Structure 1
Amino acid sequence: MESDTLSMNCKICELESLEFSRAKVLKKYDIKYFRCTHCGFIQTEEPYWIDEAYSDVINRSDIGLVSRSITLCSIVKTLVFAFFNRNVKFIDYAGGYGLFVRMMRDIGLDFYHYDKYCPNLFAQDFEAKTNGNCHYELLTAFEVFEHLASPIDEIQEMLSFSRNILFTTQLVPANTPKPNDWWYYGLDHGQHVSFYSQKSLSVIAEKFNLNIYSNGRSFHLLTEKKISPFLFNVLSRYKVAALVNMVFNWRSLIQADYKRVTT
């Protein structure tokens, strides 16, 4: 792309995306941001800085990784109880160090780890099968979508594992803040290159003939299932999930996993 290009095709709906702001990432690269005139999706120019941004796969400013995993563990347990078969396999896509997978196995859900780039430290013996012969009930992708330079292609890969994708990403606020006015652009680490509106999620769902459910903020579900939007909205709230989880418990996989890795 030429440096003076003022428009590009939207990576979600393929219509015109106009430059609406510029900002400095990694404290040294001046880059352009484009907003789609149709679906509101925001994308950076092609991220030539991305290799440098991932010199640390987990960026140093992500200090909420552990607390986020605790919150996600509670919410996912509740959503599985409400909408999915808990007695089958699940996959955490771009699962980082494997902490979330280990935590989900600890509470009794048969989760597996998949990450192309990050070492699996906490769930080493529970790597997902990628040969196409294993289907997963649900794929989770937490704080992943904003990293995708080619969202449609990557979502297509996710769907090869499961037709149900539960993911988190912050929706662009209604006032469409500029990069310096919204922390989620991640200017310090440069890893966030895609930002979604509710309409852009609907376009994605339509492309893949799926339903989309969202709590309007950060929790979203692409699925072939038809569920209650109200119930999804309620159960994707941490305080509600924590209360629900007080009522039921499943047998942990810790003992079985220990036997598996030591025999």
Structure 2
Amino acid sequence: MNKYEIGYYQCNSCRFIQTEAPYWLSEAYQSAINNSDTGILQRNERFRRIVTVLLCSLFNKEEKFLDYAGGYGIFTRMMRDVGFDYYWLDEYAKNLISVGFEHKPNTTYEAITAFEVFEHLDNPIQKIEEMLSLTDTIIFSTELIGNSVPKTDWWYYAFSHGQHIAFYHTSTLEYIAKKYKLNLYSNGTNFHLLSKKDINPLLFKFLYKASKYGLYNFFKQNLHSKTIADNQVNKLNDATA
């Protein structure tokens, strides 16, 4: 975009930064996924490895999971291919990749993922409460700001597409955790977990780092991919539609 002069405001308490009321969003979201997001597939593959390790190590891997604001359904499909019972929800994007596995009302989940979502929220508290009505655990990514306000050349402002309107500090996440009586776990930069589950912080950090190596493959080989089964389900649904 790079066409509007926008005000940014920072909370003196939790250091959260948010734009003025984002009147430009209807223009910014003419496409649900912005054209400059060339790293979308690489990012989803990286998160697939991390989340697989976390879910197998810390949660009941047989339960249902949800990708919140899941875009075109890429991550949901990837996680079902690994073997998780994963579902999709997005009020703005069309599900293209994981059709047939949409969130159904009154369903709750062992955990929700929300990758590159928090920076898009014009009312974060409202959306977080919506997520927490569905789960006790939110696994998410967003780039954290440091102790000083980032300069205007910070890439995460994303002026070119205008979709990033909310920016979080560690103190912001700590405030959210305290408000909802959750535990916060983070790599300190861009990957975070809020949960009622009590997890050893050192274990969280170990699993996060180990997911880059053989631990992902170890867990994956003990899961049963839903790729073929989902194909049969969708064929049956198409035949009876």
Residue aligning to 2:229: 256
Q: Where does residue 15 of structure 1 map in the other structure?
A: none
Task: Name the residue aligned to 1:203.
Answer: 175
Instruction: Say if 1:139 and 1:240 are closer, same or farther in 2 by CA, change over 3 A.
Output: closer
Is 1:78–1:241's contact at 8 Å kept on the other side of the alignment?
no
Runs of 4 or more consecutive aligned structure 1 residues displaced over 3 Å after TM superposition: 239-242
Q: Deviations over 1:117-159 (max 9, x none)?
A: 1011110110011x22x21000000000000000000100111
**2:166 corresponds to which letter in structure 1?**
S
Mapped to 2, the partners of 1:236 and 1:124 lie a distance apart of 30
TM-score, structure 1 as length reference:
0.86
Alignment partner of 1:227 is 2:202: no
Conserved? CA contact 1:146–1:195, under 8 Å: yes
**Structure 2-normalised TM-score?**
0.94
Matches within 5 A, 1:7-86: 26-86=1-61
Q: Are residues 1:168 and 2:136 paired?
A: no
Q: Larger helix proportion, structure 1 or 2? A: 2
Q: 1:243 is matched with which residue?
A: 214
Which is worse superposed, 247-256 or 135-144?
247-256
**Quick check: 1:123 aligned with 2:98?**
yes
Higher relative contact order (CA 8 A, sep 6+): 2
Gaps of 5+ in 2: 237-241
Q: CA RMSD in A?
A: 1.1
Counting matched residue pairs gives 234
Matches for 1:146-161 after TM superposition, within 5 Å = 146-161=119-134
Q: Which secondary structure does the structure 2 equivalent of 1:236 belong to?
A: helix
> Structure 1 residues 255 and 83 mapped into 2: Cα distance closer, same or farther (>3 Å)?
same
State whether residues 75 and 242 of structure 1, in contact with CA within 8 Å, keep that contact through their aligned partners in structure 2.
no
Alignment-derived partner of residue 11 in structure 1: none
Structure 1, unmatched stretches of 5+, are 1-25
Q: Percent identity?
A: 48
* Cα distance in 2 between the residues matched to 1:187 and 1:200: 22
**In 1, Cα distance between equivalents of 2:116 and 2:211:** 21
